[in-house]
Amino acid sequence: MTAIDQLFARLKTERRKAFMPFITAGDPSVAFTCKVLQLLDRLGCSMAEVGIPYSDPIADGPVIQASYTRALNHKIKLAEIFEATASVKKTLSMPLVSMVSYAIIHRVGPEKYIDDAIHAGFSGAIVPDLLVEESSALSKRCKERDFNLIQLVTPTTPQERALRIAEQSSGFLYFVSVTGITGERTELPPDLVDRVSWLRERSALPICIGFGISKPEHVRLLAPVSDGVIVGSAIVRMMENAGTNEASALDSIEALVQALMAAL
């Protein structure tokens, strides 16, 4: 079992849900990325997603797009990110997963990416632009290395295709809550709970919901039907201020995370 598999098995036994924050690596620096990861771990987050900056947005809203652009303007490199997470991995009890474009994995080479990610402390990768029709080879490599390949199901994914995505995934399924891009929202679709419930009845994988979750009421709505919630843009927005006031940014992140976790 991977660290992610162990996490969800433990949470199920404890009848608890996963809280999974997303942060952008290298915004404003890899040193600050490490500080945020250590903060999230101290706060009791279940897992952290680390976004690997990429120049071509996939489903990223303006907040995460801007954070990727800032990191890329600082000439951030994948090796630098892996070196940073490797330096703090022994201080973290929560698993890490990378949110990474398949273009990056392809350029590095799937075997090398998996090997380097494991060495850097990652237990899996979310690959949002990997088509299910083209995922079997990477899925096989990941399973051979006990490295989870997490894929996305969206509100417009046909049911048959959603089941195929589940078959090629491991660790958990990332269920996109809304049609469109990431970002904070005032409300979530009314039929979201029904769609997630349908998939949960047909897949043994844990299902975690992301995109648009930024308020305690969102968490309270989704906790009963999901195995975890993912929060990104609301946290990344606060990281933007770290360039001028790092302590204030950390305090803001801590307050938001505590409020959201209290709603689980």
Residues in the chain with pLDDT values less than 70: 57-60, 178-190
CA distance 60 to 78: 19
User: Which residue pairs, CB below 8 angstroms and at least 24 apart, start in 28-32?
Assistant: 28/70, 28/71, 28/74, 28/239, 28/240, 28/242, 28/243, 29/74, 30/76, 30/80, 30/81, 30/83, 30/84, 31/84, 32/239, 32/242, 32/246
Predicted local distance difference test score (pLDDT) of residue 180: 46
Predicted local distance difference test score (pLDDT) of residue 187: 52
Q: Where are the alpha helices (DSSP H) in the chain?
A: 3-14, 30-42, 62-73, 78-88, 102-108, 110-119, 136-144, 159-168, 192-200, 216-222, 233-239, 246-262
Q: Which residues pair with 48 in a beta bridge?
A: 96
Name the pTM for this structure: 0.92
Predicted local distance difference test score (pLDDT) of residue 59: 59
SS3 97: strand
pLDDT digits (tens, 9 = 90+) for 147-206: 999 999 988 899 999 999 999 999 999 998 765 444 444 455 567 778 888 898 999 999
pLDDT digits (tens, 9 = 90+) for 231-247: 988 899 888 777 778 89
Q: Which residues pair with 175 in a beta bridge?
A: 153, 209
CA distance 55 to 72: 8
Predicted local distance difference test score (pLDDT) of residue 178: 61
Concerning whether 49 is annotated as a catalytic residue, the answer is yes
Concerning whether 146 is annotated as a catalytic residue, the answer is no
Catalytic residue among 27, 60, 116, 227: 60
> All domains of the chain, ordered by start, with CATH?
3-262 (3.20.20.70)
Predicted local distance difference test score (pLDDT) of residue 60: 65
Catalytic residue among 49, 111, 144, 194: 49
Greatest Cα pair distance in the chain = 48
* Three-point CA angle 177, 56, 46, nearest 5°: 45
